[in-house]
A and B are shown apart, each in its own frame.
Chain A
Amino acid sequence: MDIMMPSVGLIFWMTLTFLIVFILLRKMAWKPILGALKDREQSIQTALDSAEKAKQEMAQLQASNEKILMEARAERDSLLKEARETKDAIINEAKGKAQKEGAKLIQDAREAIQNEKAAALSELKTQVANLSIEIAEKILKSELSSGDKQKALVNTMLKEVSLN
């Protein structure tokens, strides 16, 4: 059958034409087309990747911002706390100092009072002694007419003084 018999001429021309088309298209069309498709895909991929990266960086930045804020807040809190403590300490110290000072003042006052009292007492004693001597002089002047009387008076007088 004719239809099942491949003709040599057609095979020859088909081979020649196909080869020429193949070589020309490979150079003129397929290389630029496939290259452009690949480049475009790569550029899209890079753009997507960099967008993803930017997104991640943003998230990271946000996280670090959050962290900085948290740290600042913590620092503020600690500063406040410290200040409060210092304040308390200062107050306490002042209080203690005041108390001590007060106590010392009281002590001093007490000591001074004691001293004054002692001085007053010694003065009183001297006064009393002087008075007593005056009285004794006077009594002696009046009483020391007799010896015995003088002696008895002196003794009683002395006893009274020491009782005081």
Chain B
Amino acid sequence: MTTGIKGFRHIKSLIVAIGLMLAMPTFAFAADSTSVKEAPEAKEKFNAGDVILEHVSDSHSWHIAGDLSLPLPVILYSKDRGLMIFSSSKLWHGNVYKGLERDPNAPSISNYSFKESGIHIVVVNPDGTVNKAETDKIWDFSITKNVATIMLVAVLLLLTFSAVAKGYKQRAMAAPKGIQSFFEPIVMFIRDDIAIPSIGHKKYERFMPYLLTLFFFILFLNLLGLVPFAPGGANVTGNIAVTLTLACFTFVLMMINSTGTFWAHTLWMPGVPAPVKILILTPLEILGVVLKPFTLIIRMFANILAGHIIALSLVSLIFIFGAASAAVGYGVSLFSIPFGAGMLLLDVLVSLIQAYVFTLLSAIYFGMVTEEAAHH
């Protein structure tokens, strides 16, 4: 009787084992396709934080797949030595690049040796240590991964919208066709639901080219950032330098177009007692004007960055558990990959929303600074 039960148990575990064996290759394939990039790192001590930060940060070369990377030009400028341009492939694998000798008579000054330290390029002394004083003198104007993506998007924008404009020239007064009919509702949405309600009928036309450029620039960058393979994947709009630049454009346009009425209301609100104005209202209003572009910087930076970090974290989970045991890693991938796919879809929504919100808030700020005194 007991042997019979034991025998039954053996059969049961055998079935489970066969089932697992049949299932394993499928898991392996599923994991393989997503783990091409991280596979070598996972074999060492896998540090999810470093991997994620590396992926969301700018880079001097463009990783395409596996060991294949595209070198990008490094452009450095310093007052002493002028412009220095070389390929980023010279710095790969921790190599030290010795700058060209410009003045053979004073090699110690004219020669710079460069090394990549994280995402930065640093000047190294002949003994291999980082020369902090010289590094601080260098301005890095390299075509990084983000700069290359921005340029790519610029070309895409020009191609797309010159094609759209061509449609309007060829079929004036006719119904839109093809690419034209895809972008026309968006352009009309920006005009009728963002610009006109925020700025008003009289002045909205002045801001339309900026709002349209802003919206499509952000949207293209956001969506391209979600594409997990080259030429996508760069976290451009989740980079604070980019959101800072865009917010500065909005701020400069706000200042250029601000009316006397706006400043009168900001600095000396009528109908409020003078002490209240001096002590509370005016400082707060000035702070408000400066904070407006600042919120633009932080909002999009944080939203897009968070989207990238969550997607990467879900993939990293597989390798964190995989480091403990390969089977657990495969198991986690079962849940992690659908979840990651869901997050990606959510990020598509976030991309649209952030492009819309940035444009809408810019339009609202323009409407605010261009107000006229007519209502009082």
- Residue numbers of A with Cβ under 8 A of B are 2-15, 17-18, 20-22, 24-26, 28-37, 39-40, 43
Given the complex, which residues of B lie within 8 Å of A28, measured CB to CB?
A: 158, 161-162, 165
Give, as a whole number of angstroms, the nearest-CB distance from A33 to chain B: 5
Contact of B217 among A6, A13, A21, A40 (CB under 8 A): A21
State how many residues of chain B have any CB contact under 8 Å with chain A.
50
From B142, B164, B210, B241, contact of A11 by CB (8 A) = B241
CB atoms of A9 and B144 under 8 A apart: yes
* Interface presence of B245 (CB below 8 A): yes
Decide: A26 near B187, CB < 8 A? Known: A3-B56, A10-B242: no
CB contacts (< 8 Å) of B151 on chain A: these are: 13, 17
Taking the complex as formed, is B209 at the interface, i.e. its CB lies under 8 A from any CB of chain A?
yes
Q: Are A22 and B58 in contact (CB under 8 A)?
A: no
* Beta-carbon contact of A13 and B249 below 8 Å: no
Q: What is the CA–CA distance of A15 and B217 in the complex, to the nearest angstrom?
A: 12
Q: Name the A residues within 8 Å of B53 (CB-CB).
A: 2-3
When the two chains form their complex, are residues B154 and A20 in contact, meaning their CB atoms are under 8 A apart? yes
Q: How far is the CB of A42 from chain B (nearest CB, A)?
A: 10
Task: Tell me, in angstroms, the Cα distance from A24 to B120 when the chains sit together.
Answer: 33
Summed over the interface, the residue pairs from A and B with CB atoms below 8 Å come to a total of: 121
With A and B bound together, what is the CA distance between A29 and B213 in angstroms? 10
Flag if A37 contacts B188 (CB, 8 Å): yes
Give the chain A neighbours of B249 by CB distance below 8 A: 18
In contact, A11 and B245 (Cβ under 8 angstroms): yes
When C-beta atoms are compared, the residue in chain B nearest to A32 turns out to be B165
- CA–CA, A7 and B146, complex, Å: 11
Chain A to chain B contacts (Cβ below 8 Å), 14 pairs: A3-B305, A9-B140, A10-B241, A13-B147, A14-B147, A17-B154, A18-B213, A25-B161, A25-B212, A25-B213, A29-B165, A30-B212, A33-B187, A36-B168
Interface: B173 (CB within 8 A):
yes
Asked whether A40 lies within 8 Å of B241 as measured between CB atoms, the reply is no
> Given A29-B164, A34-B191, A34-B208, are A3 and B246 neighbors across the interface (CB < 8 Å)?
no
**A15–B245 touching, CB < 8 Å:** yes
Chain A residues contacting B205 (CB-CB under 8 Å) are 34
Contact check, A21 vs B140: say whether CB atoms are below 8 A apart: no
- CB pair A2 B119 closer than 8 Å: yes
Residues on A with C-beta less than 8 A from B144 are 9-10
Known: A3-B53, A3-B240, A10-B146. A30 touches B140 (CB 8 A): no
- How many Å from the CB of A41 to the closest CB on chain B? 10
Interface centre among B139, B168, B248 (most CB of A within 10 A): B168
Interface check B150, CB cutoff 8 A: yes
Q: Are B173 and A39 in contact (CB under 8 A)?
A: yes
Q: Considering the chains assembled together, what is the distance between the CA atoms of A22 and B217 in angstroms?
A: 9
